Amino acid sequence: MRSLLASLVLFTAAQAEPLTLVREGHFLTIRGPQLPGEISINYLEAYCRAGSTDADWGKHTVVKHTSEVLSASAHEVRLRDTLADGVIIEHTVTAKDDEVDFRLVAHNPTDKRSEAHWAQPCVRLSAFLGMDEKTASRAEDYLAKSFIFLDGQLTRMPTPQWATTARYIPGQVWCPKNVPRTDVNPRPLSPLVPSNGLIGCFSAEENMIYATAWEPYQELFQGVTRCLHSDFRLGGLAPGEKKDIRGKIYLVPNDVPALLARYAKDFQEHGR
């Protein structure tokens, strides 16, 4: 009894400490004593053109960009990405007690429409899952821990009607109904439409959940380096246009109804 009480006290104390951020190169790492392992994000892996579902990734899809750190502390990182076509995207990333908040402003200061339609924050989850990152290449051993929502229900992977053919394999993409199915990741595309914009996984002991969502979002994606994406939508900015984009990473106890309630409050657009 005393050992159990001590464990609960330690867990509660860890929860009280806010998460922290470290920016190194193109990677943003989330750390905290409440986590079973750190989470590294290739932030951002790529900005992408439309017509990407059956196109060469390097020759067609990727819009080259550079990234500049404007400021960085343990709890807030500000970045400026400049795309090859002149679009500027400023990011404010804030670590809180059990979430990381993303606020983006995308601006096209040029006189030409941008071809950038969507972008990929690639969230690597090996350590969170209790697995070795050295074995993450083309890994599918985390599928049973991973989930999306279908017909309103949490559904673990591999989901029904698991697709296996595409320009590049393995992986799995779920396209929301408002996004053209020609404009997503060139990995196997599920025929199923997700009920909401959440994708996530359970930790090794299933006492914690990682989940992420963005607004607006282009796709949900299970990748090939033990990564799970909600990739955000730009839609191609017109000359002079600005767009606000926001995202969340939730790192919370395993309480799915509580997670859904929080998501519904944070992303009310997704319920409409």
pLDDT level of residue 88 (50, 70, 90 thresholds): very high
What is the tens place of the pLDDT at every residue in 102-117?
Answer: 999 999 999 999 999 9
Domain ranges of the chain: 18-267
- Give the tokens for residue 140: 């599918």
Residue 114: CB partners within 8 Å, gap ≥ 6?
A: 83, 85, 86, 87, 108, 234, 236, 237
Measured CA to CA, the distance from residue 4 to residue 225 in angstroms comes to: 35
Q: Which backbone phi and psi does 132 adopt, to 5 degrees?
A: -90, 120
**What pLDDT was estimated at residue 15?**
55
Return mean pLDDT, the chain: 94
Measured CA to CA, the distance from residue 220 to residue 155 in angstroms comes to: 13
Share of the chain above pLDDT 70, in %: 94
Helix extents (H) in the chain: 2-16, 256-266
pLDDT score of 94 more than 60: yes
The structure's pTM equals 0.93
What is the tens place of the pLDDT at every residue in 220-259?
Answer: 999 999 999 999 999 999 999 999 999 999 999 999 999 9
Measured CA to CA, the distance from residue 101 to residue 90 in angstroms comes to: 14
pLDDT score of 5 more than 80: no
CATH topology of domain 18-267: Beta-galactosidase; Chain A, domain 5 (2.70.98)
- Contact predicate 48/61, CB 8 Å: yes
